[in-house]
Amino acid sequence: MIRLLPALLLALLPSAVQARTSQRVSPPPTAPTQRTILFIGNSFTQGAHSAVRNWHADRVVDLTGQRYGGVPALFKEFADEVGLRYAVSLETQGGRSLAFHYDERRQLFDRAWDVVVLQEYSTLDAERPGDPGKYLSAVERLTRLFRARNPGARIELTATWSRADQTYRPGGHWYGRGIAAMADDLAAAAERARRASGATGVISVGQAWTRAMAQHVADPDPYDGITFGQVNLWSYDQYHASIAGYYLEALMVFGRVTGLDPRMLGANERAADELGLSPDLALSLQRVAAEQLAADRGRG
């Protein structure tokens, strides 16, 4: 009888293991897959002339080693807040075009990425403002490079804002045409580049700025003073963006890339709080971004 005991225990062991296994409610939830995103641009991506420039630089990878945070760091914060995992990198150089990045820097980013956000020089061509020729060529070359590494890569083109100095000052290329004209021209050029290159889409940041002005969230002319209750989306040079301007840019990128409504970030959004934007302003900019993204989807 004693000799039979070990054999009996071995026979019962699978049943005991099965009983314990059946008591498990469910496996632990699977963590969301981490995606890679690369930002290529200049000072408008860096967050120049604002506190955004070096904000949370430790949370993103600057491929040039300059340790900028900028719009990529804002995007990273928004994604973290909603539970999305993005490994965020940037390759930027102030005052340079996309052609520069392809010609001089492509060894830094020539690899597979899930998403790439491309931001061109503010006037498209520094020598010939408004001329999209070099932009179209650079987007085509960059799209071909990234799709060779990852055929499924999303390539998003950021169309930036109307510069007040180019609109309200004699000598500006868009002088006298109204504050919306430059943003509309940049968006049209980005759409041309998208169609010609097969890039995925256009992030109409400049038109979101124009929408904020039309809705009296932002003042359209910083040269005649800022209306009480409205925000200045430009920095002190009336060229680069203020904290609020870059915040709106990042909201547009976040909404376009993730497909989520920026309003889900809410009044207590952490980046706005840390950078000194009021809860009311954060909500207003989130709403403007959501409306612009919806309008862009409606245009197909």
The C-alpha atoms of residue 22 and residue 93 are separated, in whole angstroms, by: 58
Give me 64's structure tokens. Answer: 């040039």
Structural domains present in the chain:
31-299 (3.40.50.1110)
The C-alpha atoms of residue 235 and residue 182 are separated, in whole angstroms, by: 17
E-only strand ranges, 79-149: 86-92, 115-119
The C-alpha atoms of residue 151 and residue 172 are separated, in whole angstroms, by: 40
Q: Assess contact for 84 and 77: CB atoms under 8 A.
A: no
The tens place of each residue's pLDDT in the chain, 300 residues long, gives: 444 444 444 444 444 444 444 444 455 556 678 999 999 999 999 999 999 999 999 999 999 999 999 999 999 999 999 999 999 999 999 999 999 999 999 999 999 999 999 999 999 999 999 999 999 999 999 999 999 999 999 999 999 999 999 999 999 999 999 999 999 999 999 999 999 999 999 999 999 999 999 999 999 999 999 999 999 999 999 999 999 999 999 999 999 999 999 999 999 999 999 999 999 999 999 999 999 999 999 876
Which contiguous run of DSSP H or E holds residue 13? Answer: helix 4-22
Give me 226's structure tokens. Answer: 């800022």
Q: Hey, is 182 helix, strand or coil? A: helix
